[in-house]
Amino acid sequence: MLGRFGSLVPVVAQNVQIQQQQRGMATLKSISIRLKSVKNIQKITQSMKMVSAAKYSRAERELKQARPIGSGASQFYEKAEIAAPAELPAKLLIAITSDRGLCGAVHTSVARLIRNELNNDQQNLKVVCVGDKSRMILQRLYGKSIIMACNEIGRLPPTFNDASRLADAILKSEYDFGSGEIVYNRFKSVVSYSTSTLPVFSLAAVKTAAKLPVYDSLDDEVIQSYLEFSLASLLFYAMKEGACSEQSSRMTAMDNASKNAGEMIDKLTLTFNRTRQAVITRELIEIISGASAL
């Protein structure tokens, strides 16, 4: 181990010497290489911004259509005043993220909320990760709490089919939860979103609700299928909100990246020109002083 370090040090020292020897020319070259790569990065971030702007406008249009579904589905839970049952403390958290990164803090803020909940009570909490990003963030420390993860989210806009398949998988997972929360990013405007939660409940929780007797002619089967459908609609709504905030956040992130790249390009062009001028001046001095010495 030590021997290897010993042989490395002289190599590094040699390199520094070579670089110092031919500084003028080499920096000119290296600056132009860096300039080129930053310009390429700017092109990439700019086109990514364009793509996500187009995707965002579509996502926002679709979100407007999905909002009544979400509010309609959650209204029963609010108006019937359903609370989590005390005898069944098991809880389910559904993290709505996607597979794609480079979009600011949308995924980390969802994961952070879940992490805080898990730190409080790891016994009765299980997590369903929708999208690879939340799984990647959570699995290292809380891998045992994850009961399910799904990917291939975010490439295409979410559909009701995706949501109902997810709801089906959650109901078939045989995790007996009393209540749950869907953690998602609620879209506010192009520049802001807030990480919020939507409650979901199981049949056991609904049956113990104080206001349930107000509702007429209910049997378990009706409530069960009602709950299954409302879980799907809530998931659909949350996925739409998540997709919209993700695209808008990616748009701002890429806009910032292009701006920063622009600043870097400006600075690099300035140093490039300065160095070039310095090289020319030095060569002139060399020629002139050489000629006058003759």
Which residue type sits at 239?
M
User: Contact with other proteins (CB under 8 A): which of 48, 63, 73, 111?
Assistant: 73
**The one among 195, 230, 248, 258 contacting other proteins by CB under 8 A:** 230
Residues sharing a CB contact under 8 Å with residue 164, sequence separation 6 or more, in sequence order: 232, 236
Query: Is there binding between residue 225 and other proteins (CB under 8 A)?
Result: yes
Which residue has tokens 């930053």?
38
Residues facing residue 125 across a β-bridge: 91
Beta carbons of 238 and 198 less than 8 angstroms apart: yes
Cα–chain-centroid distance for residue 184?
11
State yes or no: residue 69 binds other proteins (CB under 8 A).
yes
Strand partners, 91: 125, 179
Residue 266 amino acid letter: D
Min dist CB 46 to other proteins, Å, is: 34
Closer to other proteins by CB, 19 or 161: give it.
161
Report the site for other proteins in 139-168 (rule: CB under 8 A): 159-160, 164
User: Nearest 5°: phi and psi at 27?
Assistant: -65, -40
Q: Please report whether residue 172 would count as binding other proteins according to CB under 8 A.
A: no
CB of 67 to other proteins, least distance (A): 8
Task: Write out the H or E segment, with its range, that includes residue 30.
Answer: helix 23-79
Piece in contact with other proteins (CB under 8 A), picked from 20-28, 147-155, 227-235, 282-290: 227-235
Q: Does 259 bind other proteins (CB under 8 A)?
A: no
- Check binding of 210 to other proteins (CB under 8 A): no
Per-residue mark of binding to other proteins, 27-66 (x: CB under 8 A): --------------------------------------xx
3-class state of residue 135 by DSSP = helix
Structure tokens at 107: 């995924």
Q: Does an H or E element contain 47, and which?
A: helix 23-79
- The residue within the footprint of other proteins, chosen from 8, 25, 214, 278 (CB under 8 A), is 214
Residue from 17, 21, 120, 217 binding other proteins (CB under 8 A): 217
Q: What are the structure tokens assigned to 17, written together?
A: 């010497």
Chain positions contacting other proteins, by CB under 8 A: 65-66, 68-69, 71-73, 75-76, 79-80, 159-160, 164, 211, 214-218, 222-223, 225-226, 229-230, 232-233, 236
